[in-house]
Amino acid sequence: MMAGKETVVKHYLSRAAIGAIWIALGCACSTRSATFTRDAAADAEPDAAVTPNTVDPLVILSRPARNDSGDIFQYTSYVPGARLIRLPPSLDGTPQTPTTICCDQAGPEYAHLDISSYDLAFDARSIVFSAKLAAGQTYGLFVLQLADGSVTQLATDPQRDYVSPIFLPGGRVMFTTNAGVEPGAPQFRDEYERGVATQLGRINLDGTDLELAPRNLSHRTAPSLGSDGRVVFTQWDHLGPENGGHLMFVDQDMTGLHEGFGKEGSGVSSSTIKAREISPGRFIAIATARDRTLGAGAVIDIRLGDVETQGGVVSAAHNQAEARATSRVLTPDVPLDNSPSATTVGRYYDAFPLDAGDRPELVVSWADGPVEAGTLAAGGARANFGIYFYDSQLQRRSLIFDDPAMWDIRAMPLRPRPEPPPTGSQRDIGIGNQTLIVSLDVYQSTLHTFRPGEIFGVRVMEGFSSEEGFPESFGTTGFEGHANLGVAPVQPDHSWSAKIPANIPVHVQSVDVFGMSLFNEPVWFSGRAGEPAICGGCHEDRTRPPVISPGLLGTLTTGAVTLLGTTPRAQRLNTAPASATQIVGVGWTTQVQPILDAHCVTCHGDDNKAGIAGYTIVNPVTGASISWTLNLTSSPLPATLAVAAGGGAYSKSYFSMAGPDLEAVETAHLMIVGNLRVYLNPEDARGSAAIKLLNPTQLFPAPSATRAFPATTPHLIAKGLPDLTPQEHYTLILAADMGVSFFARENNPHTN
């Protein structure tokens, strides 16, 4: 134990061993409702019928206590003084003395280190960990040999952070990093704090062959290896209204990405993090909100498929799919959002399963009190995470170890485990340095019913964030930057395929002959160079894997349309497109405003000649108000509307067409009175008032005079004015279907 601290060390016991102590104490307590506090760790009822577990030493990460912002994807917090400790077991309740195993023997350069996370090798002889040695450095990867305490640092970019390492079969380590895989491209920044987003990578234990995975637009964090060789991790999915951390699976070579838990309505909270396998198809994880919770929440038991049990223990799992997933909250009193938790309830930082019973035994890290960043900061307090045995059947904690000055977290038994098989996908040399994306039948969908023949093709759009110098907000709608890579036509068999640049985040929309979205896939995905990313349909039944008949992949590869497949990032923007179908980006000031200036401002200017009824934004506290109506001029938005615009410096035309930032309006407790009308709907051009009024002409497979809304006279023609060109129509359609953002690469204020 560290000198000068009142460290609490108690027993590390199985349920039956604890029960024996309870019997000796003659305790009679409620079997369900009572919970343990730190000072009453042995006050619970015995359960002598349970067979004791094999008890091993524990490895514990002990970090100096802190009160960070609580974003679950935060990874740069540095406070020196962390250590890895080994805590011997005790079957009779006798307190044991912990031993520091890292890094007091490694040399003076480790005197001020902070350790963010670690993993134990399959043979339990070494530990890989992420650490920062001084305030001016980044987090790197280190390997500790338990036999002699020696530490070796792996060779990584000293300008980048490498965190969340885990051992892979074959002498490799997987990690997350803020290094970028695309040459010359800065790493993405997340959608709120604008921190540099972390992505997956892997490296050999000798420091060679570092590889980076294709990128998601937001963070990826907390990978963990399953017994089947797949890696489960948490991905932040942010695309308009979609905003949460969900479990994903990927093969060890960082291909074969697919959904795991949380995005099919299966989640119980906005985010699911720190998943660990209990048995095939079953995981323990933490359910919580994305922010302010210090990365802590409720413990949940996730089952991804049908299971077979023997004696109450899962023996096999099959038909695993996110759509089949179920979960059980093992700590039912803990908030699933970011509300402050009650005293004696607290929150759980992580959990390690000790068995695969229906109500498993766990080693957990738990802190009492609110465990909510704002509440703690207001009271000048910090959360105190300690290590506990948790009986999920009785919903009881028993204290194992707590240093009150430290966060004691990530406990795991020091014991060998089987090395799972390597996993990976066979990449196709015919795809080259591109990614092949394929749907076998776009009409297969669990979320939308398409009319026969209404889908012309699938539009593929690249995403980007503020990393290139954009302002923190791309517009009032909350969407990130988009670039249209193009539309892949649907073939007579309902399949489509396209080659796109590798390693970039994209999402897709099925579109009609007018180029308008019929259905939007609400997540980003990406693939490595040479990887075929194949799905069955347009958000098809996730319980049925796609079946690829012999030779079909080769046919799809040969027939795939190339959508900017080898175009460098800096060139993926408009360069005077020769036709409407070649439009890539839609900057409001560079692509949209010229259309409004040429066709609309005569009637819809500052004087409101059209007589459009407006609305009023009111501050009920001060009584201040401002009225607004449709104004399509390029003039800057008045400063009095800055709050309603979310602080963005937008034009009058943008604010009129996209509408106020409703989240900012709600946060500022403003009221909107009158005829609020939004003229462009994010990801819904067909349902947008402006598009309906303008009534675009057919674009695919070739431009024609056919109108999208045959019963409607186009607005400009009804006014006796020249109609829009196909390129102008499609520009406004893309402005809507790509999120109604103000900024694109074309009008990036950093480069224009």
| Residue 72 CB-half CA count within 13 A | 32
Domain-located, residue 450: yes
Tokens 């969900």 locate to: 246
> What pLDDT is recorded for position 538?
62
Give yes or no for residue 478 having a pLDDT over 50: yes
Note whether residue 436 is domain-resident: yes
| 330 and 361 Cβ atoms separated by less than 8 Å | no
As for how many domains the chain has, the answer is 3
Which whole-number Å values give the CA distances from 715 to 13, 142, 241, 574, in the listed order? 76, 66, 31, 28
Start-to-end CA span in the chain (Å): 59
The rounded distance, in Å, linking the Cα atoms of 218 and 463 is 10
Contacts of 50 (CB under 8 A, 6+ apart): 14, 15, 16, 19
Q: Which residue has the higher pLDDT, 521 or 484?
A: 484
- pLDDT at position 44 is 35
Q: Please give the pLDDT value at position 97.
A: 87
| Mean of pLDDT values over 119-145 | 97
Whether the Cβ atoms of residue 682 and residue 739 lie closer than 8 Å to each other: yes
Q: What angle do CA 483, 487, 490 make, to 5 degrees?
A: 155
- DSSP class of residue 355? -
Same domain, 386 and 479: no
Q: For residue 227, what are the CA distances in angstroms to 165, 276, 417, 510?
A: 17, 10, 10, 37
Q: For residues 352 and 472, state if they share a domain.
A: no
> If phi over 0 gives left and psi between -120 and 50 gives alpha, with beta otherwise, what is residue 300?
beta
Per the model's pLDDT, the better-predicted residue between 28 and 283 turns out to be 283
Tell whether the model's pLDDT for residue 235 goes beyond 50: yes
Does the pLDDT value for residue 532 go beyond 70? yes
Last residue in a domain, options 378, 413, 448: 413
Instruction: Kindly give the pairing relationship between strand 151-153 and strand 162-168.
Output: unpaired
Q: Are 390 and 361 in contact (CB under 8 A)?
A: yes
Residue 317, pLDDT above cutoff 60: no
| CA 400 from centroid of its chain's CA atoms | 33
Is 37 in a helix, a strand, or coil?
A: coil
User: 486 in a domain, yes or no?
Assistant: yes
Residue 713 confidence class, pLDDT cut points 50, 70, 90? very high
Radius of gyration of the chain (CA): 28
Instruction: Say what the pLDDT of residue 1 is.
Output: 32
Q: Of the given ranges (68-72, 254-258, 387-391), which has the lowest mean pLDDT?
A: 68-72
Q: How confident is the model at residue 495 (pLDDT cuts 50, 70, 90)?
A: very high
pLDDT at position 315 is: 45
**Three-class SS of 626-651:** EEECCCCCCCECCHHHCCCCCCCCCE
Provide the pLDDT for residue 266. 78
The backbone region for 735, taken as left when phi is positive above 0, alpha when psi lies in -120 to 50, beta otherwise, is alpha
Within this chain, do residues 385 and 494 fall inside the same structural domain, yes or no?
no
**Is 503 a member of any domain?**
yes
Task: Clarify whether residues 668 and 732 are in a common domain.
Answer: yes
pLDDT tens for each residue of 338-386: 999 999 999 999 999 999 999 999 999 999 999 999 999 999 999 999 9
Count of CA atoms in the C-beta half-sphere (13 A) of 127: 31
- Phi then psi dihedrals of residue 419, to 5 deg: -85, 120
For tokens 């609400």, what's the residue? 522
pLDDT at residue 683, as a whole number:
97
What CATH number is associated with residue 531? 2.60.40
User: Is the predicted pLDDT of residue 580 greater than 50, yes or no?
Assistant: yes
Residues 28 and 163 in one domain: yes
On whether residue 354 sits in a domain, the answer given is yes
Answer yes or no: is pLDDT of 3 > 60.
no
Q: Do the beta carbons of residue 181 and residue 160 sit within 8 Å?
A: no
Whether 339 and 255 map to the same domain: the answer is yes
Q: How many angstroms separate the CA atoms of 460 and 689, rounded?
A: 24
The amino acid that residue 413 corresponds to is: P
Q: Check whether residue 42 and residue 173 sit in a common domain.
A: yes
Instruction: Judge if 206 and 248 occupy the same domain.
Output: yes
pTM for the whole structure: 0.89
pLDDT band at 742 (very low <50, low <70, confident <90, very high): very high
68, 349 in Cβ contact below 8 A?
no
- Residue 76 inside a domain? The answer is yes
Q: Which residue has the tokens 């019913």?
A: 449
**Does the pLDDT at position 427 exceed 90?**
no
pLDDT one-digit tens code per residue, 169-218: 999 999 999 999 988 889 999 988 889 999 999 999 999 999 999 999 99
Q: Among 528, 552, 574, which residue terminates a domain? A: 574
Q: For residue 592, give the DSSP letter.
A: I
How far is 168 from 209, CA to CA, in rounded Å? 14
Predicted confidence at residue 310, as pLDDT, reads 56
Looking at the domain assignment, is residue 336 inside a domain?
yes
The amino acid sitting at 254 is M
Nearest C-alpha neighbor of 568 from the set 257, 144, 183: 183
User: What percentage of residues in the chain have a pLDDT greater than 70?
Assistant: 87
Residue 675: per-residue pLDDT: 87
Q: Which amino acid is at 174?
A: M
The pLDDT, as a whole number, for residue 468 is 86
φ, ψ (nearest 5 deg) of residue 602: -60, -40
Same domain as 287, residue 181 = yes
pLDDT at 220 > cutoff 60: yes
Average pLDDT over residues 456-470: 94
Element (H, E) at 655: helix 652-658
Rounded CA-CA distance 37/657 in Å is 55
| Cα–Cα distance measured from residue 503 to residue 214, given in angstroms and rounded to the nearest whole number | 4
Q: Are residues 543 and 598 in the same domain?
A: no
d(CA 461, CA 488): 11
What's the rounded Cα separation, in Å, for the pair 671 and 673?
6
Cis link prior to 27 (omega < 30° from 0)?
A: no
In the predicted model, is pLDDT for residue 534 greater than 90? Answer: no
Residue 569, pLDDT above cutoff 70: yes
Q: How far apart are CA 518 and CA 511, in angstroms?
A: 5
- What number of residues does the chain have? 752
Domain of residue 163, CATH code: 2.120.10.30
**What is the predicted pLDDT for the residue at 2?**
34
| Domain span including residue 477 | 429-574
Q: Say which residue, 616 or 69, is predicted with more confidence.
A: 616
Residues 626 and 508 in one domain: no
Please check the confidence at residue 630 and state whether its pLDDT lies above 90. yes
Q: What is the pLDDT of residue 193?
A: 84
CB 312 within 8 A of CB 357: yes
Kindly state whether residues 563 and 592 are assigned to the same domain: no
Provide the mean pLDDT of the chain: 88
Which pLDDT band holds residue 413 (cuts at 50, 70, 90)? very high
Strand 326-329 relative to strand 298-303, pairing? antiparallel
Please check the confidence at residue 11 and state whether its pLDDT lies above 70: no
Please report, to the nearest 10 degrees, the dihedral formed by the alpha carbons of residues 294, 296, 297, 300 taken in order. 150
> Residue 55 pLDDT more than 90?
no
What pLDDT does residue 311 have? 59
What does the pLDDT read at residue 324?
A: 77
- Report whether pLDDT(509) > 80: yes
Across 101-110, 205-214, 447-456, the highest mean pLDDT is recorded for 205-214
- How far is 534 from 219, CA to CA, in rounded Å? 23
Q: Which residues contact 648 (CB under 8 A, 6 or more apart)?
A: 471, 473, 475, 476, 642, 661, 742
Residue 698 has pLDDT above 60, yes or no: yes
Pair 391, 398: CB distance under 8 Å: yes
3-state secondary structure 595-638: HHHHHCCCCCCCCCCCCCCCEEEECCCCCCEEEECCCCCCCECC
**582 Cβ contact partners less than 8 Å away, ≥ 6 residues apart:** none
Say if 10 falls within a structural domain.
no
3-state secondary structure of 271: strand
The 10s digit of each residue's pLDDT in 542-556 is 555 555 655 666 667
